[in-house]
Amino acid sequence: MENKIIVLAYVGTGKAEMAKRYERIWNPSSDDYRYVWDKEMPSEKRKGDPSRTENPEFPNNFINAIFEKLADNIILLSLTENLFHLYDSSQFRDKMKEARIILACPGRNAFNDYIKRYRVRGNSERFIENRQKEFPCIMDKFENAEGYEKVVVDEYLDDALIKHGVKLFEKNREA
């Protein structure tokens, strides 16, 4: 791997698709570390679902898992308003200081396309409402953030990262 890379990418930019298509991509859901789930349901359906309990080990369990995977993978993390505070904290930044950290967001005028993506993939209306509320703030944070590489995602994350110089390796399709 050329460098240790963490990509903080806005919700719906194509992280899950990248993890399916390319080698050495790790795309954890912070919710798997942040909550204990009261019922079993598909990942996209449980985003925004209230049937969960806070995990007292969060965020340490999440930060430690990222650090352990960093040597062997490009890490793709969801960028939401709440998570940006974690990623921008000294606790996170100090532990990941040897990594390239890339912020990846759509342009300000692209949000309506993302609402369509959320609905197609089965996200709840509560999840979509939360994204609508936070999007202007995320864009402000993206535009004003210092100490990060920044990428605007025109269509999908993998294309934007390749244009930015990140080397991605497709999985063997014949397997």
pLDDT in tens, the chain (175 residues): 457 999 999 999 999 999 999 999 999 989 889 988 777 766 666 666 677 889 999 999 999 999 999 988 899 999 998 899 999 999 999 999 999 999 999 999 999 999 999 999 999 999 999 999 999 999 999 999 999 999 999 989 999 999 999 999 999 865 4
pLDDT of residue 53: 86
- How many Å separate Cα 167 from the centre of its chain? 18
- Distances from the Cα of 119 to the Cαs of 116, 122, 124, 126, 135, in angstroms? 5, 5, 8, 11, 16
Q: How far apart are CA 162 and CA 166, in angstroms?
A: 5
Q: pTM value?
A: 0.89
pLDDT at 1: 40
Judged on CB neighbours under 10 Å (0-12, 13-18, 19+), 97 is exposed
Predicted confidence at residue 36, as pLDDT, reads 85
| Adjacent-strand bridge partners of 153 | 106
* pLDDT attached to residue 28: 93
Residue 139's pLDDT is 96
pLDDT of residue 174: 55
CATH architecture observed for domain 5-163: 3-Layer(aba) Sandwich (3.40)
